[in-house]
Structures are given as structure tokens and as C-alpha cells.
Amino acid sequence: MRLDSANRSFLAFTGVALLLGAYVLCGAVGGVLVPLLLARVSNGGLAGLLGDGGSLLPLLLFVVVVAGGVALATFSLTQQALASYRLARRVRGLARALPDQLARTAMQAGLRGRVVLVDAPESFSFVYGALTPRVAISRGLVEDISGGELRAVLEHERYHVCNLDPLKMVLMQALSAALFFLPALDVLRARYEAARELAADRRAVAVCGRRPLVGALLKVVRGPEWSELEVAAAIGGPELLHVRVAQLETGRQPKLATLSITHATISLLGATLLVATFLASVSSFGGPAAVRVATGTGILAANLLGGFSCAAPFAGAGLLAYWLLARRASNPLESGSLRRS
Amino acid sequence: MPDGHVLCSRVRQRSCREHTRQKCSSMWFVAGRPKKTNSGFAPLESAVMDAVWAAGDPVSVREVLDALNARRGEPLAYTTVMTVMNRLATKGVLNRRGERRSYVYEATATDAAGIAVRDVIRTYGDAAVAHFVDEARADPGVRRRLRALLAEDR
């Protein structure tokens, strides 16, 4: 199966983040530093930590960066889970029964049970729900667009539902927060965000043709009365529309954002500093020889072994969970299951 | 004893700490602890918004006060309505114009649902993968290109 550019960006992002996270947390911390510190404490007690003129400063720096990353990721996950729950609750509060045409079109698009009509005069639609994605579409949009355009909008949204885009955004934001010292990952995230919209548009065009999608976009993109809502919805941005229109004009995916020298340099610097503080920590506690004594193996082997043994099950479990969720997302939901999400 | 005292006593019995937090201000006295409606407004906020929407044009605090009191047995104080309207302006629900002592207010959305949706997107936007909504303020060039595409496909 060939991955589209959105999923390639996502895979690259999570691959880098998972490997780095595993090698830092399980390899460097779990495989090297913890055994090293335990060996020091068991040999000389707490006073042994500072023996041989060793300094705790590099270790403290390393721990602050790693613990800070973990704390930021946890905070991000919590915030997003809370926001997701509240969003779903508010959408439910504004939900109205689907008119026949919308229910029929949702069924044709394979979104039975996943479309929620929001009683709002504005024109919008979005996908929400990390584990059970649904499409919220406004009464204003439904009243304003033709049957074909409605189908194009729903086909566009179906891509996001099947691709589990809300879940991917949650993961990417949490991992970005954890690896705050690697701004290069933000470029991958921006690529993913643009590419997923382009892929969703391609799906809508493949099913409905170009005209209905262009018509729907034109009706949404219209007025000064939207300005406040637009400012409020700071996801993506107006620049994304240029890229989407360019794809509709040429029929080809436009060039996506590439890694700038600044981002690459800062990321390299961040990674180097992290490795340097780790090596300095090891060095201040006796260096590779002490690691060999504490772990029974060399520093590199202990790190690689710890990192791999941690990354492999996470990657395996992650892939399995993704496969199950994606299979579930591609199927219709039982009608009336809105309240269970 | 006014209703507010009864409500405050109940609050005190239930939780002293909560009572302190609420401070039994004049608005709390009248309404007890405001329960948010579906649109996310407290009842008095909701009543003020209804009065503003009914007026259609920008309105002063006095006009809203008169409209509210015309439907109530126990009249509201001017300062209560002013406080609520200022709070709604701070939330971005009302737009305040004019000069000190002669402010007028107008709603920034056409109805409660519009405000609720905007509130949802502003607060929880990151939890949604929004697409069409992002593109709202496109420049005229983009609209021109979209119209050209439509013309091509005719």
C-alpha cells in the first residue's frame, strides 16, 4: 500500500519522535543512567553520588530537559483530551436531527451515524473526536450548498475520518511538546496538515468531480461576516487555501513546506546538547567503565538495547491500535450512537 | 426575606468555601448560582443578549435595562445590567462603541448558536480538524481563482 504525502509526513514524524523518545527515556535514562546511579548508591550510599569529584549539574540539566518534555507532553495530552470532550459535548448540545437529504448523502459517503448537524447559521464543517471521529456540519452550510456540493464536502471529511486525522493531530501536538528542542518536527507537522487537506480534496474531486468542491469552497469563502470566526479558528490558515486552489487549478499536488536551515540548525543544536548533557552525566559518574560495571555491557550497547526493547513494543502496539481504529473509522456507526462517543 | 437571602443561606449550608467564592454579589442574590444555558450563557446574560438581538440596532445599558424590567416583577439595577454587558463585551460577545457614559453595545453574532459555535471553535478549535472554516477570510484573489475554476467547468 502506497502512503500519501500526509501519511508519509506523519510516519516520519512519529518515527523520529518514537525512536528519540525510546532512546532517551528507555535507553539513556532506563538503560544507562538509572543502573549507573543505583550502582553508585549501592556502593557508597547517597554520598557516593558526589564522590570522585563528580558533578550533578549535567545530570540535573539532562533530567530537567527530559522531565520537562514529559511534563509538556502530558499537559498537552490532558488539555487536548479535555478540549475534545468539551467540543463533543458542545456539538451535541447544538445538534439537530438530520434532514433527509443530509442523512441520504451521509449514507452515500459512507458516513452513516457519523454526521452531526449543528444548528448554526454560519457555514462550516469539521471533523472531531480522536477515537470515534465524527463530522460536524452547520445548518448554514447545508442550506447554502447544492446536493453535489454537500457530497463533495462529506467526501472531503470522510478522508479525515478514515485517516483518523483528529487522533493524529493529538499525537503530533503532544510529541511536538515533548520534543520542544527539535523545531524540525514542526515542519513535518505543517507538511502533514497541508497534505491531509490536499489529499481530502483529491478524494472529493475523484468521487464528485472538481466543480462541486470548488462551488462549496466558494460559498464558504465569502464574507466579512466570517472574519471573527476565522480569527477564532486558527487552525491551518488562509495560506492553506492558496495551496488547495493551486491543486484544483493544476490537478497536481503543490510543493509542500521544506525544512529550513534555521529549523535544521536549531534542531541539530538541541539534539547535540541533549546528547552532550547525557555523555557529561555519564562521565561525571565514572564514564564508560562505570557503565560497564553497572550494566555488564558498554554504554552504546546498553543504550541501543534499552531503546530498542522499549521502542519495539510501543511501535507494535501503536500500529495494531491504529489498524483497529482505522478499520472501525472506515465503517458506518450505528445510528443514535452520538451520545456514546 | 428576599429570595436571594434564602438562596445564599442554602449556599452557606452547602459549602462555606463556595459561598465565599460567590460572595453573594447583587446578581447572585437575585439569581442564585447562574446555571449556564445550552448557548453557554448564564440566565441573565442570556436575557441581556435576547434584548440586544430584539433591538436590532446598537443599544445602551439603559435601553436594555428598560427592556428587561418591562418583563420583570422585581426590577434589575442599572449597575447589574451594566456589569453583565461589560462582561459580555470582555468575552467578545458584545461589541462596545462610543465614549464613557455614552457607550452603545451590539451583538457580534446573529444568534446564540452563532456565538456558541464561535466559542466552541475559539476554545476547543485545536480538538477539531477544521477545514472549510479555516478558509473564511480568503483574499479576493482566491475567490477570483475559484470563480474562474467554476467558469472553466461549466
**Record: contact B123-A153, CB cut-off 8 A:** no
Q: State whether A227 and B40 contact (CB < 8 Å).
A: no
Residue A90 pLDDT > 90:
no
Cell of B43: 440566565
Average pLDDT over residues A82-107: 86
Nearest to A28 by CA among A341, A280, A322: A280
pLDDT of residue B90: 86
Residues of chain A contacting B130 with CB distance shorter than 8 Å: 124, 126, 233, 235-236
Has residue A108 got a pLDDT over 80?
Answer: yes
**Looking at residue A54, what is its pLDDT?**
61
Give the residue carrying C-alpha cell 476547543: B124
- The conformation of residue B59, written as its DSSP 8-state character, comes to B
Q: Is A122 on the interface with B (CB under 8 A)?
A: yes
The Cα-based distances of A142 to A29, A150, A151, A232 in angstroms read 54, 7, 10, 22
Is A138 an 8 Å CB contact of chain B?
yes
Type and span of the H or E element at A42: helix A34-44
Q: What are phi and psi of B104, to 5 degrees?
A: -125, 150
Q: What's the confidence (pLDDT) of residue B136?
A: 46
What are B22's three cell numbers? 460567590
Q: How confident is the model at residue B18 (pLDDT cuts 50, 70, 90)?
A: very low
**Which band of pLDDT confidence, cut at 50, 70 and 90, is reported for residue A72?**
very high
Instruction: Name the residue with higher pLDDT: B10 or A74.
Output: A74
Taking all residues of chain A, what is their mean pLDDT, rounded to a whole number? 81
Among the partner residues B108, B116, B134, nearest to A233 by beta-carbon distance = B134
- Decide: A249 and B147 in contact? Cβ < 8 Å: no
Q: Which of B108, B123, B132 sits opposite A228 (nearest CB)?
A: B108
Are A341 and A88 contacting, i.e. CB atoms less than 8 angstroms apart?
Answer: yes
- Please answer yes or no on whether A156 and B127 come within 8 Å at the CB atom: no
What percentage of chain B has pLDDT greater than the value 90? 18
pLDDT band at A139 (very low <50, low <70, confident <90, very high): confident
> Count of alpha carbons within 13 Å of B15, Cβ hemisphere only?
7
Q: Where are the beta strands (DSSP E) in A129-244?
A: 134-138
In terms of pTM, does the model score above 0.90? no
Distance, in angstroms, between A311 CA and closest chain B CA?
A: 27
Residues of B in contact with A245 (CB under 8 A): 142, 145-146, 149
The cell for B145 is 481563482
Residues in B closer than 8 angstroms to A125, CB to CB, are 131-133
Residue B133: which pLDDT band, with cuts at 50, 70 and 90? very low
CA proximity to A170, closest of A13, A55, A278: A13
Q: Give the A window 212-241 contacts with B, CB below 8 Å.
A: 214-218, 220-223, 226-238, 240-241
Residue B22 confidence (pLDDT) above 50: no
